[in-house]
Amino acid sequence: MKQEKKRNSFSGSIGFVLAAAGSAVGLGNIWRFPYLAAKDGGGLFLVLYLILALTFGFTLLTTEVAIGRKTKQSPLTAYGKINEKWKPLGIIACLVPVIIMPYYCVIGGWVVKYLIAFLTGEGKQAAEDGYFTGFITADVEPMILLCVFLFAVAFIVFRGVNKGIEASSKIIMPLLLLLVIGISVFSLTIKHTDEAGVVRTGMEGFRIYVIPNFEGLTVQRFFTVLLDAMSQLFFSLSVAMGIMISYGSYVQDDANLGKSINQIEFFDTLVAFLAGVMIIPAVFTFMGREGMEASGPSLMFVSLPKVFAAMGKVGNIIGAMFFAMVLFAALTSAVSVMEAVVSSFMDEFHVSRVKAAVIETVIALAGGILVCLGYNKLYFELELPNGSVGQILDIMDYISNNALMPVVAIGTCILIGWIVKPNMIIKEVEKSGCTFGRKRLYVVMIRFIAPVLLVVLLLKSIGILTII
């Protein structure tokens, strides 16, 4: 009889928790969470986010990790192993990281560029108007930096589960947390007088961030905030893209899943919250309330460099620390995206890790080059169904995040909630002898509440539902 090759596994809970938290903590925590919190009236968003994390997020994360551990398969093959007819869902779940990987690496390259700029004392230039556009529309530089980032990720994945993913997370994640805490403390202590003589402090900005603002709160607005929090959480936990299934498949059978999942959620939420503490007070102090309207790339690569420049000499150091931290966050997330694809290729086509990693690197490189060209030779403007205008990067982001991810999550809820029944997941969590806390909540969430919320989210993100 052919002996199945033994699957790798994380050496212990800490390795798993740090690797999964490394995936969860990414660009979304840094450039989207603080912006949404500021836009949605501070505290209210934070409270809703927390409630959703403990209910909705917990349900999806537990489900995926348990599917991975039970089937010992990666996304492409795991769904089919649970139920033969559901194999196509695995294909979509694997397609998501295939689409995300190229553009995530392009953005990773941008982060490398800014880190180098601040390390070499060029922070001031980076803050000038047109610097960012000039850089991303250049012919070769973005492609070279894409390669730097992609090859670093590929190297870690190529080294394998223990020597690559686990070992790198154990070094990077504590460093990341240290940087986040350091910059947050600095941000709270700053003070600035603008040209009009108005004095603003970091603490005032912090208050805007955390104190709930119920002004003009209507039922409709409440739902907008709720949906913002939900879509953010969904992206932030790295669910619905196969990642947590493939990491789950490396968790040992005697590990306490419930405890690990709580720790992952705690880590992810803590870093998201602290990202707000780093960014909101600093932006508020130096740019006032208007400065807080930016999010995504324009917050990170346009507004923040201006804030660092306004800090004077210390701005170069803080800027370098900041972009080092962002690079760490992006690296561990990209590693998880690549691993989801690589493990899928290994399980489906029975190829070696090296071969699978090389194939995925080539795909990501080709896609990444296309994304870079989208800003110069292939430039066009396309209006997306949700009203925004974008280039190749935005289109890939739109297809994966707005359309495919909710579909994967809805499919997962139906498969587990109604076809194979939630007991399968509960048994999997409890098999190591630990209790499944919030069991009843889990069943109600996976069968009823999560799919309904997800359908609403899908309708909103593809532009069909427009009232909230």
CA–CA separation, 308 and 323 (whole Å): 11
Binding ligand PHE (rule: CB under 6 A), the pick from 53, 67, 93, 100 is 100
Q: How far is the CB of 268 from ligand PHE (least distance, A)?
A: 7
Please identify which residue in 337, 338, 405, 425 interacts with ligand PHE, judged by CB under 6 A. Answer: 337
Find the binder of ligand PHE among 19, 27, 172, 413 (CB under 6 A): 27
Query: How far apart are the C-alpha atoms of 267 and 55, rounded to whole Å?
Result: 16
Query: Which distant-in-sequence residues (6+ apart) come within 8 Å of 462 by Cβ?
Result: 385, 386, 402, 403
Burial profile 392-429: b = 16 or more Cβ within 10 angstroms, e = fewer: bbbbbbbbbbbbbbbbbbbbbbebbbeeeebebbbebb
| Complete DSSP assignment for 345-358 | HHHHH---HHHHHH
Out of 28, 57, 68, 123, the only residue in the binding site for ligand PHE (CB under 6 A) is 28
Q: How far is the CB of 337 from ligand PHE (least distance, A)?
A: 4
Contact 345, 251 (CB under 8 A): no
DSSP 428-463: HHHTTS---TTHHHHHHIIIIIHHHHHHHHHHHHTT
- Which residue number, 49 or 235, has a Cβ lying nearer to ligand PHE? 235
Q: How far is CA 180 from the centre of its chain?
A: 16
Instruction: Report how far apart, in Å, the C-alpha atoms of 234 and of each of 33, 263, 288, 430 are.
Output: 12, 17, 30, 25
Closest approach of ligand PHE to the CB of residue 224, in Å: 20
Among the listed residues 333, 343, 361, 412, the single contact to ligand PHE using CB under 6 A: 333
Q: How far apart are CA 357 and CA 157, in angstroms?
A: 7
Task: Identify whether the C-beta of residue 200 lies closer than 8 Å to the C-beta of residue 46.
Answer: no
Question: Does 332 engage in binding with ligand PHE (CB under 6 A)?
Answer: no
Closest to ligand PHE by CB, 62 or 336? 336
Instruction: Give me the residue whose beta carbon is nearest to ligand PHE.
Output: 26
Contacts with ligand PHE: how many residues (CB under 6 A)?
A: 15
Smaller CB separation from ligand PHE, 183 or 311: 183
Helix, strand, coil: what percent of the chain each, to 5? 75, 0, 20
Q: Measured from the CB of residue 20, what is the shortest distance to ligand PHE in angstroms?
A: 10
Q: Using CB under 6 A, which of 19, 20, 21, 24 touches ligand PHE?
A: 24
Q: Is residue 29 near ligand PHE by the rule CB under 6 A?
A: yes
Q: Is 103 in the site for ligand PHE (CB under 6 A)?
A: no
C-beta of 238 vs 303, nearer to ligand PHE: 238
Considering only residues 15, 26, 108, 242, which one is a binding residue for ligand PHE as defined by CB under 6 A? 26
d(Cα 464, Cα 285) in Å, to the nearest integer?
A: 39
**Out of 19, 22, 23, 240, which residue is the one contacting ligand PHE (CB under 6 A)?**
23
**Site track for ligand PHE across 224-263, x = CB under 6 A:** -----------xx-x--x----------------------
Nearer to ligand PHE, 36 or 337 (CB): 337
Q: Write down the least CB distance from residue 298 to ligand PHE, Å.
A: 17
How remote is the C-alpha of 73 from its chain's centroid?
Answer: 22
Residues found near ligand PHE in the complex (CB under 6 A) = 23-24, 26-29, 100, 104, 235-236, 238, 241, 333, 336-337
